[in-house]
């Protein structure tokens, strides 16, 4: 699907995300100049219910979505070539890069808690376009990429 998971227990150490040369290397190489940290749990995230609902609506973005799990866990679901859901279990130390134009959604698991770093190339634009959003160039590019994969 083009979604990359750096299941990175060996590469990234989430306990030292504030000073991790390996994280700095990824940020430098991929131009992830921007970052913040989001905590998703009932007591800490404003408009929690509304946001949880938005995250779980099937959508795409016009840019990469990059998430690095610092604490807790959750699931990213992505559509495969045959339009079936693939569930990606994300835990502490895992980083995922969703390509622009891929349909996806996010949900917490039974722990109801995740703390994640959000990375971005340049100024962040998180706008979700709920499905159907097939008219975007980013979508056409991604479909073309999928067709070129085995």
Residues that bind ligand KMT (CB under 6 A): 38, 55, 65, 67, 74, 106, 114, 116, 118
Phi, then psi, of 111 in degrees rounded to 5: -75, -20
Nearer to ligand KMT, 78 or 139 (CB): 78
Q: Which does 17 bind (CB under 5 to 8 A by kind): ligand KMT, Ni ion, none?
A: none
Residue with tokens 């940020």: 27
Nearer to ligand KMT, 13 or 149 (CB): 13
Question: Min. distance of Cβ 67 from ligand KMT in angstroms?
Answer: 4
Nearer to Ni ion, 11 or 45 (CB): 45
Question: Min. distance of Cβ 38 from Ni ion in angstroms?
Answer: 12
Structure tokens that stand for 66 in this block: 């990059």
Nearer to Ni ion, 16 or 37 (CB): 37
Q: Which residues bind Ni ion (CB under 5 A)?
A: 65
Binding residues for Ni(2+), by number, are 59, 61, 65, 104
Binding residues, by number, are 59, 61, 65, 104
């Amino acid at each position: 699907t083009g979604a990359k998971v750096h299941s990175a227990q060996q590469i990234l150490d989430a306990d030292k995300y504030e000073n991790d040369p390996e994280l700095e290397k990824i940020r430098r190489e991929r131009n992830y100049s921007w970052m913040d940290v989001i905590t998703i749990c009932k007591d800490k995230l404003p408009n929690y219910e509304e946001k949880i609902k938005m995250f779980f609506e099937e959508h795409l973005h016009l840019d990469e979505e990059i998430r690095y799990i610092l604490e807790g866990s959750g699931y990213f679901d992505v559509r495969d070539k045959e339009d079936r859901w693939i569930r990606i279990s994300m835990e502490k130390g895992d980083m995922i890069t969703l390509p622009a134009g891929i349909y996806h959604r996010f949900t917490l698991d039974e722990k109801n808690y995740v703390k994640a770093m959000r990375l971005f190339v340049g100024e962040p634009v998180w706008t979700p376009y709920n499905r159907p959003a097939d008219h975007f160039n980013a979508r056409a590019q991604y479909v073309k990429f999928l067709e070129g994969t085995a």
